[in-house]
Structure 1
Amino acid sequence: MPWKVVTENAYCEITPAIRGLKQQWEKNNYINPQLYRDYDVKRGLRNEDGRGVLTGLTRVAEIEAYKVSGNESVSPADGILYYRGIDCRTLVTGSEQRGRFAFEEAAYLLLFGSLPTRQGLNDFCVQLAAYRTLPKNFFKDVIMKAPPRDLMNTMQRGILTLFCYDDDPNNISLENVLRQSLQLISNMPVLAMYAYQARRYSLGESLFIHAPQPELSTAENFLYMLREDCKFTDLEARALDVALVLHADNGGGNNSTFTNHVVTSSGTDTYSAIAAAMSSLKGPRHGGANSKVMQMMEDIKVHVKDWNDPDQVAIYLDKMLDKQAFDNSGLIYGLGHAVYTRSDPRCEVFREYVVELAEEKGRGAELALYQNVEAEGKRLLMARRHKDALSTNIDFYSGFVYEMLGLPQELYTPLFAVARISGWSAHRMEELSEGGKLIRPRYECVEAHREYVPMEQR
């Protein structure tokens, strides 16, 4: 049977034939939920108590989120996030006290396993600045080539295209992978910002492109390239720098980092592994969560008349939990975390900058609403789930900070990638040096065996 040529207009249509095939798929692909219990499947690679299944060892980062007693029972605890054994909060406070930005120091620590000396940090920053440039005509030939409907996809396309500009792209020696990693750490903010500017231009807005400045930090350069006048305050740059530090890693088991481990274990190139991690991060259950918080808060602003009245806030949150408001999901986004129990240490650090920025920007009324949603939401959720502890995720406040910095929502997840590339790079190098085996978990097939039926007998 000859193929019919699909017209351009019909290329993205869901046709009646596709709907019929979808019904056929549903008919033949149902799996009884009881079978997951019968086979003791660790759905989401998690045990019954919520802890992740142990699939590897790492020295890069660690989450301390609960206490485990002698009989293996789990109890809530204040969260701590360690980078190479060092509480990441001390990276923020240590650099702040000495008047420097912290992200580059955190990236060095994650990659090399030790804190840099003053000269070592300076040399590292000089190397990053030297790499912070895309190939000639890359913006015009790659980023502007197709309309950037989603910045994460545009960035992925850019990363995969950089493979073609690399003279030794498939070499997975640690020395070569380190070179590639440093180049990607340097250029991730450039890719994000240029994709955003191309997006603006495609929507009919003026195009302005600022080349990154070698003397500026990653956070400063991001704001410099974002704004038409290139200006920013010290508090704005420091708040963004802290966000980058706190998002740089979150343990080897988070979805995008595990994806990076899995793809790296196949022996593939750096660009493919990082593009795969980007695919994971794009998902709303992972890196896209803060945008969902912002959408939720905009909805609450409309439906709650008195933002300072906890009772009014609680009434509307109850409706949300009953699936009668906002997106009818029954969720309060930004409250609770897959691992952290009593507190998310990243949120505790970030909270100070939220308050300072809200004061500087005159956004105290909105801050009060956030605080009421946090307090009442946690109270309601703990009562419904019969829990005595629930953490506020960093995503609850990060979107508010980004909004105060003038970042559009479409840049929130790309900014996450700008930070997390340092952790991905560290884990990729660790997997290449220590892994040795292709990661291949087992899936039990529950389809009955049957005979092939000839076409005329079907």
Structure 2
Amino acid sequence: MSIYRISTRKLPEAQKLNGLLVRFISADSSLRDVLAAKIPAEQERVKNFRKQYGATKMGETTIDMMYGGMRGIKGLVCETSVLDADEGIRFRGLSIPECQKVLPKAEGGEEPLPEGLFWLLLTGDVPTKGQVKQLSKEWAERAALPQHVVTMLNNMPTTLHPMSQFACAVTALNHDSKFAKAYSEGVHKTKYWEYVYEDSMDLIAKLPVVAATIYCNTYRGGKGSKSIDSSQDWSANFVKMLGYDNPKFTELMRLYLTIHSDHEGGNVSAHTVHLVGSALSDPYLSFAAGMNGLAGPLHGLANQEVLVWLRKLQKELGANPSEEALKEYVWKTLKSGQVVPGYGHAVLRKTDPRYTCQREFALKHLPNDDLFQLVSKIYKIVPPILTETGKVKNPWPNVDAHSGVLLQYYGMKEMNYYTVLFGVSRALGVLASLIWDRALGLPIERPKSLSTDMLMKMVQK
């Protein structure tokens, strides 16, 4: 049984979830204070573990793994989340349904607040409602953009992809990096995490303003509010700046920003942030690099690929095709050498829990929507077809098979923008990990590479 480490105050509000003892931390501790108290103990725990088991082998690397994108190679440490092939994602030991149950919610809301998820990722503790409210307020106070970044965003052509604008703005925010300044002044390496923490808090706070500015400039002719209400949560402020006022869309955004936040350390965006950060690049440069990876069609752009495929399907078959017509279309897609977008996953071997919770949201709030009903039919017929081919290890849908449908329903039709939303969310996980990278003193990442000739000679020997 796993037990979260928490403050020493007696805590009567402990809960058990599937054998996991979850406790809530002291209501009078700030996020920085909780983290500062945990880091020395965790440093010592990792130090002792490495001293005792550092030479232990964790597996073997094959040539296929080396040529196949390092798939399956155990070579990274990620404290914030673990992805199990059969169980799905767990954030610090908690599944998505468990997070939905125990993380604080907005007044009258049903979905977890991303602020609470960030606290959980960073500390392993479930925060109180008061602590989440304090974190919302702190992010609101840190949210203002430097004028040079505002000017840059306002001068970018609207034809520039939103993800390019996003990465550029994040890079430019590096101008005010506290970590870069402290490093240039010779700060001791044991203090690195403190400045990475400050940069990460600033960056997370500013991302909704950056993202909303891009949205309003690109799709609303520059119209929109950039004001932050310190009494509102992170997601509510973001939705307001985007120009939406539907409370259900705000709830969706809270869910979306929570479930897209982290997916262990081996995916392109998370690994890139870790890799670039290992060179002691500040959080802005590291996160911008990760966002350029997230922009790829095989990563964060995948939900857009799903919608493009669905729209082509509807154009050919109509808005409400029969199951038989859908089966023929899926086989046609596969026989043409294409994949069914949104199905399959590099690690998962079951339906992605992130897909499931979005489906549950849709069943509750938009059960009769045509596009959702189409996605539901596809969910029914695609897995058996993919299984029948005998070539697919995971025939089940992933998160991208559903997220775009929900955004379309609430009026956000601009598919090119969806990856920016993903990026705002992913900051929570990768920056929490980056803080721990510096707290644990992880070194620059430098795996060994070999040429094909060298591999052939080694095999012959």
Aligned to 1:373: 378
Distance 1:366 1:412, change over 3 A: same
Is 2:242 the counterpart of 1:222? no
Deviation for aligned residue 1:307: 2.4
Q: Is the 8 A contact 2:354 2:399 kept in 1?
A: yes
Deviation sequence 1:296-355 (CA, Å, 0-9, x none):
0000101114725100111111111111xxxxx511000111111022111111111122
Is 2:135 the counterpart of 1:124? yes
Q: Is the 8 A contact 1:180 1:270 kept in 2?
A: yes
Matches within 5 A, 1:155-234: 155-166=166-177, 169-171=180-182, 173-200=192-219, 205=221, 207-227=223-243, 230-233=244-247
Q: Is the 8 A contact 1:80 1:345 kept in 2?
A: yes
In 2, distance between residues paired with 1:314 and 1:278? 36
Deviation sequence 1:59-108 (CA, Å, 0-9, x none):
2111122xxxxxxxxxxx3x331111122321223345984542110011
Which sits farther off after the overlay, 117-126 or 307-316? Answer: 117-126
2:445 pairs with one of 434, 439, 449? 439
2:155 pairs with one of 140, 145, 151? 145
Q: Is the 8 A contact 2:174 2:284 kept in 1?
A: yes
In 2, distance between residues paired with 1:97 and 1:147? 37
In 2, distance between residues paired with 1:232 and 1:122? 21
1:256 pairs with one of 243, 251, 269? 269
Q: Is the 8 A contact 2:273 2:286 kept in 1?
A: yes
Deviation sequence 1:188-224 (CA, Å, 0-9, x none):
11111101222236xxx46333323222222222221
Is 2:349 the counterpart of 1:341? yes
TM-score, normalisation: structure 2: 0.77
Q: Is the 8 A contact 2:177 2:282 kept in 1?
A: no
In 2, distance between residues paired with 1:263 and 1:168? 14
Is 2:416 the counterpart of 1:402? no
Q: Which amino acid aligns with 1:44?
A: G
In 2, distance between residues paired with 1:265 and 1:254? 16
Deviation sequence 1:121-174 (CA, Å, 0-9, x none):
2222221111122123632x2102231411111111111111223465343611
Q: Is the 8 A contact 1:354 1:397 kept in 2?
A: no
Which sits farther off after the overlay, 205-214 or 149-158? Answer: 205-214
SS at match of 1:169: helix
Deviation sequence 1:370-398 (CA, Å, 0-9, x none):
11122222111111025686321111010
Is 2:310 the counterpart of 1:283? no
Q: Which amino acid aligns with 2:410?
A: L
Deviation sequence 1:395-445 (CA, Å, 0-9, x none):
101000111122221221000011110101111112222353221122222
Which sits farther off after the overlay, 118-127 or 189-198? Answer: 118-127
In 2, distance between residues paired with 1:39 and 1:405? 44
Give me the CA root mean square deviation: 2.4
Q: Is the 8 A contact 1:155 1:192 kept in 2?
A: yes
Aligned to 1:111: 122
Q: Is the 8 A contact 1:170 1:269 kept in 2?
A: no
Is 2:73 the counterpart of 1:53? yes
TM-score, normalisation: structure 1: 0.78
Q: Is the 8 A contact 1:171 1:177 kept in 2?
A: no
In 1, distance between residues paired with 2:233 and 2:364? 21
Distance 1:155 1:206, change over 3 A: closer
SS at match of 1:53: coil
Q: Is the 8 A contact 2:166 2:211 kept in 1?
A: yes
Which entry has the higher C-alpha Rg, 1 or 2? 1
Query: What is the aligned residue count?
Result: 381
Q: Is the 8 A contact 2:106 2:113 kept in 1?
A: no
Is 2:111 the counterpart of 1:91? no
SS at match of 2:77: coil
Is 2:325 the counterpart of 1:312? yes
Q: Which amino acid aligns with 2:201?
A: L
Distance 1:92 1:151, change over 3 A: same
Q: Which amino acid aligns with 2:437?
A: E
- Unmatched runs of 5 consecutive residues or more in structure 2: 1-60, 184-191, 455-461
Deviation sequence 1:109-132 (CA, Å, 0-9, x none):
112221112332222222111112
Aligned to 1:355: 363
2:66 pairs with one of 26, 31, 41? 41
In 2, distance between residues paired with 1:206 and 1:58? 39
Q: Is the 8 A contact 1:92 1:245 kept in 2?
A: no
